[in-house]
Every structure is written in structure tokens, then in C-alpha cells.
Amino acid sequence: MALLGEFGLIKHLTQNFKLNHQSSIKGIGDDAAVLNFEDKQVLVSTDLMLEGIHFDLAYTPLMHLGYKAVQVNLSDIYAMNGTATQITVSLGLSSKFPLEAVEELYKGIELACNKFNIDLIGGDTSSSKQGLVISITSIGYADKEDICYRNGAGENDLLCVSGDLGGAYVGLQILEREKLIFLENPNIQPDLEGKDYIIERQLKPEGRRDIIDLLSQMELKPTAMIDVSDGLASEILHICDQSELGCTIYEDKLPIDPMTYETARELGLDPTVCALNGGEDYELLFTIKQADYDKLKHDVDITVIGHMTDKNSGAKMISKSNIVHELKAQGWNAFKL
């Protein structure tokens, strides 16, 4: 890598990337990229991922990591009900990192860009004393009237979530378990059999652009929306807090995949707790007016899990045995480590 130098490295890594969007006027190669969104509002979101805090290279293939780093960023643009169009990628690379490793990382970034039609328009590259650092900024746009904020929910609105929950967290527990077994005895091969779905949920999440497209086809604009990165309970509380409301959700409505459910049980975990607090699902949580219910009631990929109430009622979950629990944010939080 030292042979290539910083400029050579950037050129080498980014040579296959093409600009596809009209809004991308100038990409990599000048002091700043130039974008033109004409009459749209521009959405910008950044995430920082640190080795040892957000990912563990012991079980995270670099291609997956590149793919995931892009997806988690796009997810924030979709959560605003926007179209994601560009990203910048900034890297801190330690000297132990061979060129092939950075190439793998960029393969994953390229895969995500191609699949979701995203232009890579710049970034920054530096050496890092310890560990890999990846920061991605995603840029997108939306018409002013289409943007969904966290503060738009109304009393009696229905609370909906896409896909299923808890899988990424339970997948992580399996990867962590296998890592410990491997560290104790490197001759034992990891046993991930039958766990592909939840492992994939952890290593290769997908931003739910399809849900944004679906809502637009249904002509249904959520009143509030957020993506599930820290855990359902934590995201629900953000909507409650910012919309100045309470809510009631029902345990028996939480969408949990059978593999997530069974594996959680195997590991001695409560599947409901995994769904509420697991995080990294990158599903969309949103509220809709009751009058819009008919538009999505037949969609199997969207589940109504409860409704918004007045602020004084607080945020509640009714358990399967009809006990009322207060929802608490115990979401995954890097600061807790």
C-alpha cells in the first residue's frame, strides 16, 4: 500500500465507480464534490464505525463490512422518506491492513452502491494507529412535503414496523459464541448451520428502500418515521418524545422470525427482549393515520404493533399475559461498553 501512496490508493480503489445521478455534477478528484438538487430538499446523514466498538473483524468479512457500512447509512435517508443518491467514504487504516483487505472492503461498498444506485463522490483516507475506522456520509433528497420527521405522529395513529425484529442481535450472539469456542480451540470449525438468516441479518443488513417505494405506490405518507438501529423500544421512545405522545404496543404483535425465536430460546434469551432491545435490524418504524390502515392491511411485510396515545399515558407494552409494562430504552449503545 505504501508503494501506491494515498492518491494511487484512492484511484485504485475507486476506478470502477461511475456517477449515475444527474445531481452528481463532480465526484472524486477535486477539493469538494459538486451536487445539484434543484428544487428538492437535501438530506445528509453520517455514521462512524470503529473496529472493536461497532464491528469485530474476527467474524466480519471485510466485503460484508463495506456493504453494511453503506446500508446503515442509506437506512437513515430512507427513514426520512427520501431517495439516497450519493455517499462519501472516509477511512482510517492501520498499517497491518494489506491492500487486498481494503480492496475487499471496497468490493462491498461497490456492491451496495450498484444495488441501491448510489454514487461514490468522495471521502478521506488516513492511517490509523489502532484499528479500522470507517465513516460514511450519505446524501439524498426528497420533496419538502414528503419528508417524514420523528415529531409528526398524532394521537391514535397506528404504529407500524417493516420486516422482523431481533434477528441481527441473535445472529450476533451466535457469532460471539462461535468466536469464543474458536479462541479456546482453534481446531473447532464454527457451527453456523441452520442460522443463515440471522447471521445474514447481522452481517449483511439491507436498508428498506423497498418499503419507501411501496409506501409511495400506496400513496401513503407516514406521519412520523425512524429506522430501527438501536432497538425497537428506543426508536419508539424517540417518536413518542419528539411527537409529545405516549403509545401502547402489544407483545403478541411483534414480528419475530421463527429462526430468531428458536435461537433466542436456545441461548436462554427472551425473544421479546431481543426484538425490543436488540438493535441493528435496520427496519423502518413509522406511524400512519387510522384512515390509511386499509392501504397496507394486506401487506405481509408491514406489521401494525400498536398505536399512539396521549403523552400522560406513557409508553406501554401489553404482554401476552395481559400485563402492562413500561417501555424502556435499553438499546445497544456504544457508550455503555
Between 102 and 121, how does the x/- string for binding to ligand ADP read (CB under 6 A)? ------------------x-
CB of 118 to Mg ion, least distance (A): 20
Exposure string of 130-150, with b = 16+ CB inside 10 Å and e = fewer, is ebbbbbbbbbbbbeeebbbbb
By CB under 6 A, tell whether 279 contacts ligand ADP.
no
Q: How far apart are CA 163 and CA 300, in angstroms?
A: 8
Note whether 307 and 156 are within 8 A (CB): yes
Choices 23-31, 149-157, 261-269, 302-310; region in contact with ligand ADP by CB under 6 A: 23-31
Residue in 21, 23, 24, 28 binding ligand ADP, rule: CB under 6 A: 28
Q: How far apart are CA 268 and CA 109, in angstroms?
A: 35
Task: Restricting to residues 35-94, name those near ligand ADP by CB under 6 A.
Answer: 89, 91
Where do we find the cell 471521502? 123
Choices 26-34, 187-195, 225-233, 289-297; region in contact with ligand ADP by CB under 6 A: 26-34
Q: Is the dihedral of CA 164, 165, 169, 173 positive or negative?
A: negative
Exposure string of 54-92, with b = 16+ CB inside 10 Å and e = fewer, is bbeeebbebbbbbbbbbbbbbbbbbbbbbbbbbbbbbbb
By CB under 6 A, tell whether 15 contacts ligand ADP.
no
Choices 119-127, 141-149, 212-220, 319-327; region in contact with Mg ion by CB under 5 A: 119-127
Between 118 and 137, how does the x/- string for binding to ligand ADP read (CB under 6 A)? --x-xxxx------------
All three cell numbers of 25: 455534477
Q: Which residues bind Mg ion (CB under 5 A)?
A: 124
Residues found near ligand ADP in the complex (CB under 6 A): 6, 10, 14, 28-31, 89, 91, 120, 122-125
